[in-house]
Structures are given as structure tokens and as C-alpha cells.
Chain A
Amino acid sequence: KRGLYRKRRGLYREGLLSDDGFRLDGRRPREIRSLRMRLGLFPRADGSAYIEQGNTKVVALVYGPREVRGPRSRSAPDQAVLRCRFSLAPFSGPERRRPRGGEGRGSDLALRLQQSLEAAVLTHLYPRSQIDVYSDGSHCCTGTTAAALAVLDAGIPLRDVVCAGSAALAEGTALTDPNGAEEAAVGPGLALALLPASGLLALVQLSARVPCERLEPVMEAAADGCRELHRALDRELRRSLRERHGEV
């Protein structure tokens, strides 16, 4: 099986873009994958969201604001503390992983999630409390977006819905929102979290080597993807709110 995967990988390296400029799954370089979302799936959590982006599926849960668990010194006197956890399902990668405690709280992905959310959540409204965010999926960017939606569903005031997206560089062309095969072929590239209304960047992370002059188009591609994602989310949100209330 692994050999097959390598072979496919080699195949992809040869041509990620067709001669007409289409990608392997038929998208244009600046197109994002298809999106589905739902809010409030879990009545036990204060807020929850589910996002499907292509084959990536993410569930995010939010509990709180509630009393700080553990040592009181962890709480802040003037704002709420965000505690994030990001976990990957064992079946979420190309190979089945053995579940480990490694990607729990404090891991790299959880820190990225926390950093992105802290830019958006109005934590100063809830002093001396904590908000727990659990994101569970296969992709960090989708996980961040899902977590922001779950916070929104919990009724916690937000500056903006954080939209996170990624971009990769393949054969000199920036690809927005790469799928699993493209990421396997050229690496994850750039991850970006954007507050679309203000255009502020909550997080930028570059995890591949990109030539300096190529950086700008890659970032632009990722930001484009975020904005496109925001438009789609906005439409979906309005629709789901209209279902609940009748009118927005």
C-alpha cells in the first residue's frame, strides 16, 4: 500500500497542473474546495460546529465561559483564558495512525489554534473564566475555522469569524486550498488565518521553503482562499440563522 502511495506521489510530482491550467481535482489554481457546514450539532456543548471542506471533515466544540479548572493562578484577572485542544482522528491521514497523547493541549497545532482565536474572541468580557475549545479533524486550517464557528455558536462575542486557509506553491503557481494529494506532493506551504472584515492577519505560518519573490503570490492566494471561504460561510450562516429565526 505504501508503495502505491509513493508511486502516486511520484505521479503527482510530474503534473499538478494540466496544460489548460486545471488542477488534479478539476479546480482552477485559485478555487477552494466545496464547503459544507452545520452549527449546533451537540446539545451538551455550549457551542459546536462541523465543517466539511472537500474530503476534510472537522468537528469543533466549545465549553464555557466557565469557572477555571485547575490552579486558580492560571486565570487572568481581566479576561477569559482560551484553552485549546486539537486532535487528529486516527483515520485522518494517508496511513492509519496510532492515537497518541502527543497532539493534545499545548501542542503546536493547539497553540496555532489558540493564537488565531485570541485575535478574534472578545475575551475581556469574561474576566476570571475559561473557554475550552476542542477541535477534532484532519487539517489545522479547517480546524481553526470550525473552532471559530463553534465559538460563534456558543454565543460568545467575536470581532470576526476567523477564516483560515492554506496555499502551496507548485511549478511556480500558487495553489489555493490544496487538497491532500497536492499537499503530499509539494508540502503544506503557507497557513494563514484572516479576520475578513478588517483584513487583519491572525496567524501566518510558512512551513515550506518558498522563494522570496514567490511569497507574495502565495500569501495572496491563501488570503483569497480565506475571503472566498468567508463568503461561503457567511451565506451558509445567514441561511442557518434564517432557518432558526425566520429572518436575519
Chain B
Amino acid sequence: GTYTRHGFIFSSLAGCVEKTSEESGLPIVSVVRDSDPQLLPDVGVVVTCKVCSINSRFAKVHILYVGSTPLKSIFRGTIRKEDIRATEKDKVEVYKSFRPGDIVLAKVISLGDSQSNYLLSTAENELGVVAARSDAGMQMVPISWCEMQCPRTHTKEFRKVARVQPEFLQT
């Protein structure tokens, strides 16, 4: 929350001054507030989103979390068919990867231009569906990287499943 001008440090927020000293060199001066600052999705960060509609070319999602911080208002994003997985991109089918209501981990690849929203990608092993419900309404369990199974009816459904990293599970 600071900036420098003419060799002075100015605050751009109203809050408390916090000084933390690094062992090598100069102390870091920062101004902090009691509430979390407003976050925006930025290129390269992992976001948690909810699928709200799919069609044959892309899936529309609502971005709910940036990293582990919840957003105050939702941001809309799109996952295009080509960005769902890294290999065999031409064989991807959106409805075999996501369904509306799924909770998906994705990475922001672009802020979008004047026509489009945030563009997201799940083309990594750690990205994809983390929570989904089956037709019977049960929370499904992943059985492979592309399938999930309903614990009640034992039907299998296709998803682009994320291999959730252990450090993400804790947060």
C-alpha cells in the first residue's frame, strides 16, 4: 500500500504502518488495513470457479476464489474447449469434461479483450474438476483422471478431474 516519489515513501491506503526488517539489507515498510484488500483475478493465478453453463465450444464459469481468498463479487470467465487439457486437444469434448454446477480449479491465461471475459485454462494435471455431483445428487469420487463415480448408483461420469495437491487440501 505504498509508493515512492522524489525519494519519499507515501502511503496510498489509510491504515497502520508495519515495518518488517529483512536480515539482508533494508526494512520493508508497508501500510496494512484490517480488512483484506480487494483482489482481482490476474494472469497466472489459480482460481476456483463454478461451472454455470456449457456448450460444444466452451464452458462459462463464475470465478469465486482467487487462490484461497474469496471474492466479494463474482467474475465471469470462459474455459474454451482447446484449453481444457494439454494433450489430444482436438478430441476434447466439453460435456465429457465439465457439467454445470461442478467446482473447477483453473488458471487465468488472459484477462480477455473487449469482447470476452477472463479466459481460463485447465490444461494441467493439478487443474480441473475437484467437486461434482452425479445425476443422483451425490458427491462423486474421482476414480481416474477422466472419470468420477457416484457412490450410490455406481454410475461413472466423465470429467476432467484435477489431481488435487496436498497443500491445496489444507487451505
Contacts and interface: CB of A to CB of B under 8 A. Distances in A.
Interface string A73-97: 1010100000000000000000000
A128 B119 CA distance: 13
B75 interface: yes
Nearest to A245: B16
B117 interface: yes
B35 A155 contact: yes
Contacts of A77: 111, 113-114
B91 interface: no
Contact of B14 (A67, A73, A126, A237): A237
Interface in B63-110: 72-76
A72 B118 CA distance: 11
Given A66-B72, A72-B114, A156 B17 contact: no
Contact of A129 (B15, B40, B114): B40
A245 B13 CA distance: 14
A67 B37 contact: no
Nearest to A244: B34
B116 A46 contact: no
Interface in A91-139: 122, 126-129
Interface residues of A, number: 29
A46 B35 CA distance: 11
A197 B10 contact: yes
Nearest to A129: B40
B12 interface: yes
B112 interface: yes
B38 A159 contact: no
A65 B40 contact: yes
* Residue of A46, A122, A128 with most partner-chain B CB within 10 A: A128
15 contacts: A46-B72, A67-B75, A67-B117, A73-B115, A126-B40, A128-B40, A152-B14, A158-B12, A159-B10, A237-B14, A241-B14, A241-B15, A241-B16, A244-B34, A247-B16
Nearest first, the 3 closest Cβ-Cβ pairs linking A and B are A157-B12, A73-B114, A66-B73
